[in-house]
Amino acid sequence: MLEPLYTAAEMRAAEERYPGTVEELMERAGQAVARHALEDFGDARSFTVVCGAGSNGGDGRIAAQILEGAGRDVLVIDAKPEDEEKDLGDPDVLVDALFGTGFEGQPRPGAARLIEQMNSLGIPVLAVDLPSGVDASTGEVEGAAVDADMTVTFHAEKVGHYVTPGAYLVGYLEVEDIGLEPIETEHARVTREILELVPRRGPEDTKYTAGHVVVVGGSPGLTGAPCLSALAAMRADAGYVTLAGPEPAVQVFETWVLEAVKRALPATDGLVTEAAVDPVLELAAKAGAVAVGPGLGRSDGTKAFVRRLLTEAQLPVVVDGDALWELEPAEWPGPRVLTPHSGELGRLLGEEASWIDAHRLEAVRRAVQLFDCVVLLKGTGTLIAAPGKSVLVDGGHPSLATAGTGDVLTGIIGAFLAKGMEPRLATAAAATAHHWAAMEAGHEAGLVAGDLVDALPQALS
């Protein structure tokens, strides 16, 4: 359900517990690299192995010896001294053994030039442990970095293999056992098995006990978003959904979402106002969760409505879209799940979206510290963090980059919260179901958010 992801410090701790020698570990690592070089690049007759000064370079040198013993032409390049130009030859495959898990920050100028040379060859690259230039603990890339076709790592997957932008450079990932014992890690990758934790409707359930979600949203031109959230909540196995919004939006709700109960809310110019809080709290008193924000629109009235709803509602609330607009930390009486994309999180933290994209793990940690709740940062390699805990959802199917898919995710989270799941696990399970719905939909191109809704029952099966 949760596969460990190691930081550099955690890998050092695992290595320090090993009762044997460092040389034994390097020998096994080098053998694994050579085996994959021969098996996965079977037609290659020549290799250039670029070796740094540390243990990663040692792994590369052992691999080079084995490749030579297998009859391949091998050129070993030492990164030191850094001030001289390197001749990388004309190999079929390049093995990147420059930096390992201990790397952080920016490569020095000479190493950066060497990395640029490696990338410019235009041949397959096999990275040892991580592509050089990627921070193993964060996935950050602050300077030049190797763009690998395949990465062979040791003992376990690292955070940097899955957190972007570093994850974009890993290529196909293979994990090799070198004899280390597992240790507890701060971060984990979610597997599909987490969906087994989602409560299913049993013979004793009614439509109310199977999970009741109140979805609040809608404004002129944005009525589709709450409809998608409501439909997703139902397809995520909620037994009852109430869809609430301003009167003009409710007219659309009536024609699109037949199964949901509708409730018109006080509004001005098609946008809900603070006066809508009491009716929503009345609905929430009979529900298991609220989803607020899809298509809500932005005004002083919507901002006041969201602020009061979050400070007065006792039940779990998932906060998305326009409900995140100018959101401020407060003492909240119940669980809250924030689901920003990088632009929304940037506005909450006072940063540019580009900074969020470059520092995703740090950004989501800052958000958790600021709001003291579960935060899901959307994007490739969805990040989910809670106070004291962090997980990562592998995936981010490319077809999800289309309007409305975030609204679908909001509805799924709402359904799982309404079923009584612990907020962090509910959020991780929802993101996993969201990813697998995209897989089940089977569209390489042209997927729309409604396809996810239709595929959810199959993904949950």
Rounded to whole angstroms, the Cα distance separating 142 from 444 reads: 32
Rounded to whole angstroms, the Cα distance separating 384 from 376 reads: 4
End-to-end CA distance of the chain: 16
Rounded to whole angstroms, the Cα distance separating 286 from 359 reads: 40
Helices then strands (H, E): number in the chain?
14, 19
For residue 261, report the phi and psi dihedrals to the nearest 5 degrees. Answer: -80, 140
Rounded to whole angstroms, the Cα distance separating 72 from 225 reads: 58
pTM, two decimals, is 0.94
**Can you give the pLDDT of all 461 residues of the chain as single tens digits?**
889 999 999 999 999 999 999 999 999 999 999 999 999 998 999 999 999 999 999 999 999 999 999 999 999 999 998 888 999 999 999 999 999 999 999 999 999 999 999 999 999 999 999 999 999 999 999 999 999 999 999 999 999 999 999 999 999 999 999 999 999 999 999 999 999 999 998 889 899 899 999 999 999 999 999 999 999 999 999 999 999 999 999 999 999 999 999 999 999 999 999 999 999 999 999 999 999 999 999 999 999 999 999 999 999 999 999 999 999 999 999 999 999 999 999 999 999 999 999 999 999 999 999 999 999 999 888 999 999 878 887 766 788 888 999 999 999 999 999 999 999 999 999 999 999 999 999 877 899 999 999 999 999 98
- DSSP per-residue string spanning 58-88: HHHHHHHHHHHHTT-EEEEEE--STTS----
CB atoms within 10 A of CB 165: 18
3-state SS, 220-276, equals CCCCHHHHHHHHHHHHCCCCEEEEEEEHHHHHHHHHHCCCCEEEEECEECCEECHHH
Contacts of 393 by beta carbon, 8 Å cutoff, 6+ apart: 189, 190, 381, 382, 383, 384, 428, 431, 432, 435
**pLDDT at residue 455 in the model:** 96
Structure tokens at 21: 């020698």
